[in-house]
Structure 1
Amino acid sequence: MSENAATATTPLLQITDLEVGFTTQSGVVPAVRGVSFSIMPGENLAIVGESGSGKSTTAQAIIDLLPGTGKVTGGSILFDGTDLTTLNASGIQRVRGSQIGYVPQDPMSNLNPVWNIGFQVRETIEANTQLRGQDAKKRVIEVLEEAGLSDPGSRLRQYPNQFSGGMRQRVLIGIGLSARPKLLIADEPTSALDVTVQRRILDHLGTLTRDYGTSVLFITHDLGLAAERAEKLVVMYKGKIVEYGSSQEILADPQHPYTKRLVAAAPSLASRRIQAVRNDEEESGALAPVTRDISIVERAEAREASAAGDLIEVKNLTKVYQIRQGGFRKTDFTAVDDVSFSIPKGTTTALVGESGSGKSTVAKMVLKLEDITSGSITFDGKDVGTLPRSELLSFRRRVQPVFQDPYGSLDPLRSIGSTIAEPLLIHGIGDAKSRRATVRELLEQVSLPSSTELRYPNELSGGQRQRVAVARALALNPEVIVLDEAVSALDVLVQGQVLDLLTKLQTELGLTYLFITHDLAVVRLVADNVCVMRQGRIVEQATTDEVFDSPKQDYTRELLEAIPGGNFEFGRL
């Protein structure tokens, strides 16, 4: 914290009794109720809570970006001595961007797909600073480099669809920081980032806090990030604050029952793999007390003894893209380079690594959504790359995806009920009545109320949309589910519920999972085997315990060491 921040006595941001509501046909529905907290210059504060608790709504209210019919119905928001709730549209525009930066949660829906990255960053810089021409272009390269984007100068002409989810998130972070704001509101700023880039971004935010007196308001479900990077913590539940104070004190010794549940559900490097048991074993109580402590090696041996062999086998897989350089010039880019691994039936294999390492590209080739340049993928004895069109529908019923971006993978014009029922309709399963009953069962499985079937994607939070995507993937009772960052948008409680559900289904139905993720703590909970990818190649693969307890490669050790709050003992008091 800077010297000025240390001696400051007046908060940069002071929120008092904030009330936010959304107008519906039945009246105003309160979303934020009586929220009060403050942020000093140069201070970091984190707001945590489950999806729908009011975290993002509180942040959006500060800069008048509430969606739809949302509006501030009470209270005050003092920023640098000015009540933002009293400003007109032009007044709030002068504050937004230049004095208060904002990093939204969903990178794909917040970047224009028809404009290149350089134009979008430059537009923000020119709108909020005095820089123009070559000075503005130079600043574009600087902010993208600061945000952790490699070789930013050569990426200015590329478009959002040519970037991975993590790379798009880095662009948004660069845009939010471009004008050196006094306050940065970061809504899940690192949820799409691998841990090494996450650490670089958070270190950069720490530098801003120290050198420029920039304050950061984190909206996050990552308790490790809150413990390591924020001095203060706000815990929200159903639109209200249930705990507020020192982040480390609250997370080490939570007082409210809801906070205790959050802390208990937080995955860490000390976690063991979730182990589901049959209902009769649960009822007997014989296995329940020790299910989470059973050795992963013992489970792997048991599965190998009962398994019929490898369900998926990847051999020397390579994917080369042609990148347009301008005009008619193109250059080859190898996204996946000679990758080989296998997945035994009924087990979970995790692909981990930095954003852009090729994880999602491998997943798309396994799903036959991308063509294979060379090598092979074998599923149940058949070569996926040579499957005739007549067998594709059957293949897709057996292998289902859950993609990284829940908003981009859900049709905004379809209700949630019709979205989940769509695979059943396409594959001719059941009638309208039975499909609706199946939809309600699936919604219950992913902890969403049955009334959700009548709502639309834009009416749901990011975490709720991801749960819908999981429900849709489960609709056809597939044999394999490819999960591409499937729980990255979920708060820890719902994340735990979804992971428990996936583990239970795997045990009951013999499902096989390919789990693509950058969250190594989650890998510890769900994976039997781990493949670590870097720059398109697998640099280490072994059982989960071997990778976590005795990593062989320096890169793997760097990934483990970069986990936010990895050494923090939650609920230790």
Structure 2
Amino acid sequence: MSSNPVSTQPLLQIDDLKVGFRAGKQILTAVDGASLTIYPGQTIAIVGESGSGKSTLAHAVIGLLPGNGEITGGSILFEGNDIAKGGRKQIMALRGSSIGLVPQDPMSNLNPLWRVGTQIKEALVANGVATGAAADKRVVELLEEAGLPDAERRARQYPHEFSGGMRQRALIAMGLAARPKLLIADEPTSALDVTVQKQILDHLDSLTDTLGVAVMLITHDLGLAAERADHLVVMYRGKVVESGPAREILQNPEHPYTKRLVAKAPSLASQRLSSVTAARAEVREQAVQTAAEIAAELEASEALGEGRDDIIVVDNLTKVFTLRGAKPWQKVDFKAVDDVSFRLRRGTTTAIVGESGSGKSTVARMVLDLLPPTSGSVEFDGHNLRDLKTKAERLRLRRQMQPVFQNPYASLDPLFSIYQSIEEPLSTHNVGTKKEREAKVRNLLDRVSLPTTVMSRYPGELSGGQRQRVAIARALALDPEVVICDEAVSALDVLVQAQILELLNELQAELGLSYLFITHDLAVVRQIADDVLVMQNGKVVESASVSQVFDHPSEEYTRRLLDAIPGASIQLGA
């Protein structure tokens, strides 16, 4: 948050802005009469869920609305000039040099055919910042500023060699390349771990203080907004419903929508935490009881499970990948997972937490038998996965362990209807008749609180939260004992995230499910998990109950993760 005195002359002044999208002869309003002011050196946060109009407003400012989008009313004054009424040349002259952008999606905003350094260098050259060797040197400095170690080597790599978080950092470096007066950061840290997120946001604060760069922060994370912004603008259905000093709004929200956002924000510490802990204990007790009943039934059946207390036992798990070295002919070994051991108690949730590259997702893939371990073992209900040789045995395992992946936009086939997406595992495993499968799909949709009318629709017609509910329904189709959630709520807005977490808790209590929950978001862990495994550089550095990890962390690395949760220190009313 800026400590500089704010100039009395606005840098950006938006007044009664209206933005619409043409659909045939109609214009659908996306931003409806929005007004806000940003001064040099000021950070404001625009908060709202998907579809609230916050990103559309930002794209209108920088002239990046899609072809069918247009400004239908109001004004956008940048340093006194109305760029809403200016031509394309005017906005292109400002873009990059005066107004920078950090876009949200790191997977689609980098050219896969160009080296990362080349793309950042292009931004430097285009804006007249540097050329030649000076530009190459500046590229490395920018990548270091954005939090990438070994920046010189990284600059020579291609986007596919970067993780999602690393790509986002490259985009941040690009957005800051020309030292703009206003930086529009559209969910700039949504793909980043909390420690890296803190580093990036600290850097943005530093720019605000030293260079007078104003920041328009688009986010759905109220904790982040409260910690980083001077001023908060809350958008709902295209309108600004509340605007004012950030802490004041969070302490005393007036609009019902803002009150809902504050109530559901997982990163804001408050007296709610004690009730969350009590609710988790109740869910755990119910789930263990249900799991015991299910286990008793399984012992009498031909299922793989034998009803053991520890449904998954991982011992000394190690995974080594062979990677390309500095020279094309060189090969180097990289130990992604290093001697990891843990147990998942039946009917409970174990969260595996760590930064990108810590090995947590690799562990999940080995537990799912999607990746063979280099050494060590994974046991499911007393059966070593390496001993499952036949196709029939592996199919039985697949039925009892199901994944829910991070991205609800990519995990569903866009050419399959919702019915086909959920029915597919039933058909693959020859479960029931066509009529019985349809009844099962209807029941599953009901369980995840979706109307049966969505069966005929396609993923592109659903919101992110609805798609993730479909993904959960599909995971439950084969009545599994274990569901492995790999960053299952990280791509969702706060309100939708809260709904999905509540749904997972309810399903666990109702069905006796056991969850392995992979995440980088410690704020979410407290709402979903019983036990926590903290991973760093492929190793387990701490393993304990949720309350012990949060209240009495034993490792410095864990303390750093907890301290980096945005807004965790902000106390709100009950």
Normalising to structure 1: TM-score of the pair? Answer: 0.88
CA pair 22-327 structure 1, distance change in 2 beyond 3 A: same
- Other-structure match for 2:193: 194
Report deviation, 1:252: 0.5
CA pair 441-230 structure 1, distance change in 2 beyond 3 A: farther
SS of the residue corresponding to residue 61 of structure 1 reads helix
Report deviation, 1:177: 1.7
Q: Is residue 2–residue 230 contact of structure 2 (8 Å, CA) maintained in 1?
A: no
Letter in 2 for 1:205: L
- Other-structure match for 1:212: 211
- Other-structure match for 2:37: 38
Q: Is residue 167–residue 356 contact of structure 1 (8 Å, CA) maintained in 2?
A: no
* 1:82-134 deviation per Cα after TM superposition (whole angstroms, max 9, x unaligned): 32323444433332222222222222122333433333333333333432222
Q: Is residue 287–residue 509 contact of structure 2 (8 Å, CA) maintained in 1?
A: no
Report deviation, 1:57: 1.9
Report deviation, 1:231: 0.6
- Other-structure match for 1:319: 319
Report deviation, 1:67: 4.0
Report deviation, 1:59: 1.7
- Other-structure match for 1:71: 70
* 1:254-299 deviation per Cα after TM superposition (whole angstroms, max 9, x unaligned): 1111111111112245554887xxxxxxxxxxxxxx9538589988
Letter in 2 for 1:570: L
Report deviation, 1:7: 5.1
CA pair 260-274 structure 1, distance change in 2 beyond 3 A: same
Partners of 1:389 and 1:87 lie apart in 2 by: 68
Q: Is residue 300–residue 528 contact of structure 1 (8 Å, CA) maintained in 2?
A: no
**Aligned 1:536-551 pairs, distance under 5 A:** 536-551=538-553
- Other-structure match for 2:354: 353
Comparing 436-445 with 76-85, greater Cα deviation is found at 436-445
**Aligned 1:9-24 pairs, distance under 5 A:** 9-24=8-23
Report deviation, 1:546: 0.8
Q: Is residue 404–residue 471 contact of structure 2 (8 Å, CA) maintained in 1?
A: yes
CA pair 116-409 structure 1, distance change in 2 beyond 3 A: farther
Partners of 2:429 and 2:113 lie apart in 1 by: 34
Letter in 2 for 1:555: Y
- Other-structure match for 2:246: 247
Consecutive unaligned residues in structure 2, runs of 5 or more: 294-306
**Aligned 1:78-227 pairs, distance under 5 A:** 78-227=77-226
CA pair 496-90 structure 1, distance change in 2 beyond 3 A: same
SS of the residue corresponding to residue 86 of structure 1 reads coil
Partners of 1:67 and 1:465 lie apart in 2 by: 24
Are 2:511 and 1:497 aligned?
no
Q: Is residue 263–residue 571 contact of structure 1 (8 Å, CA) maintained in 2?
A: no
CA pair 300-503 structure 1, distance change in 2 beyond 3 A: closer
Partners of 2:93 and 2:452 lie apart in 1 by: 43
CA pair 440-208 structure 1, distance change in 2 beyond 3 A: farther
Report deviation, 1:51: 2.1
Q: Is residue 421–residue 439 contact of structure 1 (8 Å, CA) maintained in 2?
A: yes
Consecutive unaligned residues in structure 1, runs of 5 or more: 276-289
- Other-structure match for 2:260: 261
Aligned length: 557
Partners of 2:312 and 2:240 lie apart in 1 by: 47
Are 2:232 and 1:233 aligned?
yes
Letter in 2 for 1:366: V
SS of the residue corresponding to residue 5 of structure 2 reads helix
2:279 to 281, 292, 301: 292
Letter in 2 for 1:206: D
Comparing 45-54 with 535-544, greater Cα deviation is found at 45-54
Partners of 2:467 and 2:435 lie apart in 1 by: 24
SS of the residue corresponding to residue 363 of structure 2 reads helix
- Other-structure match for 1:524: 526
Partners of 1:450 and 1:129 lie apart in 2 by: 56
Letter in 2 for 1:379: F
SS of the residue corresponding to residue 118 of structure 2 reads helix
* 1:57-81 deviation per Cα after TM superposition (whole angstroms, max 9, x unaligned): 2222222323463332222222222
CA pair 191-447 structure 1, distance change in 2 beyond 3 A: farther
- Other-structure match for 1:285: none
Report deviation, 1:244: 0.5
Letter in 2 for 1:188: E
Q: Is residue 310–residue 346 contact of structure 2 (8 Å, CA) maintained in 1?
A: yes
% identity of equivalent residues? 60
Q: Is residue 148–residue 197 contact of structure 1 (8 Å, CA) maintained in 2?
A: yes
Q: Is residue 6–residue 40 contact of structure 2 (8 Å, CA) maintained in 1?
A: no
Letter in 1 for 2:254: Q
* 1:171-199 deviation per Cα after TM superposition (whole angstroms, max 9, x unaligned): 22222222212111112212222221111
Letter in 2 for 1:546: Q
Rg larger in 1 or in 2? 2
